[in-house]
Amino acid sequence: MSDVPQLISLNRACEITSLSRTMINRLRADGRFPSAVPVGEKRIAFCRDEVVGWVRERINARDKAAA
């Protein structure tokens, strides 16, 4: 069961990234944030691993720029 992707809410994605809902939606519109997963007619979620990976990419880019 541990190989099942975990879906998280937009609010949880905000907590993980420290970004506002507005900023995440802007990044999504530009294709610079993981795609949302539709889970209902008016409900979306995000794959937790993809959001965490996105954060890791930001950290790696920072570290590479500092080197």
pLDDT in tens, 29-67: 999 999 999 999 999 999 999 999 999 999 999 999 998
- The CATH code that applies to domain 7-66 is 1.10.1660
- Predicted confidence at residue 3, as pLDDT, reads 87
Please tell me the pTM assigned to this model. 0.91
Domain spans of the chain?
7-66
- Predicted confidence at residue 32, as pLDDT, reads 98
Average pLDDT of the segment spanning 17-21? 98
Burial letters for 22-61: b for 16+ Cβ neighbours within 10 Å, e otherwise? eebeeebeeeebbebeeeeeeeebbbbeebbebeeeeeee
